[in-house]
Amino acid sequence: MNLPPLVEPAPELSVDEVRRYSRHLIIPDVGMSGQKRLKNAKVLCVGAGGLGSPALMYLAAAGVGTLGIVEFDTVDESNLQRQIIHGQKDIGRSKAESARDSVLEINPYVNVQLHEVRLDSTNVMEIFADYDLIVDGTDNFATRYLVNDACVLLKKPYVWGSIYRFDGQASVFWAEYGPCYRCLYPEPPPPGMVPSCAEGGVLGVLCASIGSIQVTEAIKLLAGIGDPLVGRLMVYDALEMTYRQVKIRKDPHCAVCGENPTVTELIDYEAFCGSISTLAAEAAKDSTISVRDLKSMLDARERGEDDFVLIDVREPGEYEIVQIPGSILIPKGEFMDGSALADLPTDKRIVLHCKVGGRSAEALAVVKGAGFGDAVHVGGGVLAWVNQIEPEKPTY
């Protein structure tokens, strides 16, 4: 599908810009006209993390005139394995400011606009309105649906990417010419069903593979060249080193871009996607203990004054990184399929924990449903334990 250029050309390129972009200018499909369009373009990148890092760096190098960055987080040491726009000296800094400094080091001709806010229904339309195209570098479903719906309502193209472990996906959602994100995923997965990168991990270099595809698509849209990934999903398997495409059709019944849309304004996306299931929230309501409560319980168990089973529901690789003393590993999946239940002791209290509390709440719902009424889980999980009890231990 050949689409018209998204932006008009800038009046001119300076002598310095001609030198800088010379390898673009001698490509017939780009040329002087295409590079002027990039100079005149305004692109917003949502997130300056794994996908946002390579996307921002290559958008800057390509000569996109205005780059917006939506980011409210700070740089953590665990980010540096994949978020290459940041460095060791940036730990603790605003990611938005760190990303801006790197962008300007790559290309001082870029105008960088920072939006150091958490993107939500109250600010997304105002922020998006000033840009021609949105590149999504987020890693959660609530923000993806928010970005998609805002782009549909504003008639803007949405360049999407997703990464997990060794797998990546990319597409262009533009309701003016093809399907939107909801056409592919009408409903979010059940809470807790799909682990995040923080829970499941991601190969650092995979971010570069998918982020570079996103930038390639952005350049094609801005300059009006090639065949953009509108109506196509690119699926990348890094372990097998394969790329394949899946066709996506516009859903006439889509809630936001269909013939009779039911979503005509932005909604509460956190509620729409949910962080944990209703059953998990209900199970955890009066059955959540703090890490300090757990420390007291462990001390009492050492003195023979208490007895319980502390179960870590994370994955084996996470358990190898850091553990709470006295815990045993039974991954969440074994609770969800029921296989763990038969081996649980009936004469001891069950205490569950995970990394931050979400997975242990889901497992708690299963355990309580199986008749272990006094079971509890640890709010904040192992990260809270390290932060408050054993700060000398590593986090991830």
Averaged pLDDT, 99-111: 98
Given pLDDT bands bounded at 50, 70 and 90, which one contains residue 188?
confident
Strand partners, 57: none
pLDDT digits (tens, 9 = 90+) for 341-369: 998 999 999 999 999 999 999 999 999 99
Q: Are 44 and 65 in contact (CB under 8 A)?
A: no
Flag whether pLDDT at 303 surpasses 80: yes
Averaged pLDDT, 74-84: 96
pTM of the full predicted structure? 0.83
Task: Please list, in sequence order, all residues whose beta carbon lies within 8 angstroms of the beta carbon of residue 15, skipping any fewer than 6 positions away.
Answer: none
CB atoms within 10 A of CB 331: 19
* Euclidean distance between CA atoms 161 and 235, whole angstroms: 10
Q: State which amino acid sits at residue 128.
A: F
What's the confidence (pLDDT) of residue 200? 78
What's the confidence (pLDDT) of residue 257? 96
State the catalytic residues. Answer: 197, 354
What's the confidence (pLDDT) of residue 192? 63
Flag whether pLDDT at 193 surpasses 70: no
What's the confidence (pLDDT) of residue 276? 75
Q: Are 99 and 11 in contact (CB under 8 A)?
A: no
Query: Exposure string (b/e) for 194-208, b if CB count within 10 Å is 16 or more?
Result: eeebebebbbeebbb
Residue with tokens 């533009």: 174
* Euclidean distance between CA atoms 300 and 244, whole angstroms: 56
The two counts, helices (H) then strands (E), for the chain are 17, 13
The distance from CA 304 to its chain's CA centroid, rounded to whole angstroms, is 45
DSSP 179: -
Residue 4 structure tokens? 């018209």
Tell me the pLDDT of the chain averaged across its residues: 95
pLDDT digits (tens, 9 = 90+) for 326-347: 999 999 999 999 999 998 999 9
* Euclidean distance between CA atoms 81 and 84, whole angstroms: 7
Kindly report the CATH number that applies to the domain delimited by 15-273: 3.40.50.720
pLDDT digits (tens, 9 = 90+) for 263-279: 999 998 987 887 678 88
384: three-class secondary structure by DSSP: helix
Q: Euclidean distance between the first and final Cα of the chain, in Å?
A: 43
Domain with CATH 3.40.250.10 in the chain: 278-388
Residue 60 structure tokens? 């800057």
What's the confidence (pLDDT) of residue 25? 97
Flag whether pLDDT at 216 surpasses 70: yes
What's the confidence (pLDDT) of residue 374? 94
Domain with CATH 3.40.50.720 in the chain: 15-273
Residue 317 structure tokens? 């690789």
Q: Which of 142, 133, 149 is nearest to 254 (CA)?
A: 149
pLDDT digits (tens, 9 = 90+) for 143-155: 999 999 999 999 9
Flag whether pLDDT at 100 surpasses 80: yes
* Euclidean distance between CA atoms 218 and 171, whole angstroms: 11
Backbone angles phi, psi at 70, to 5 degrees: -100, 115
The fold adopted by the segment(s) 278-388 is: Oxidized Rhodanese; domain 1 (3.40.250)
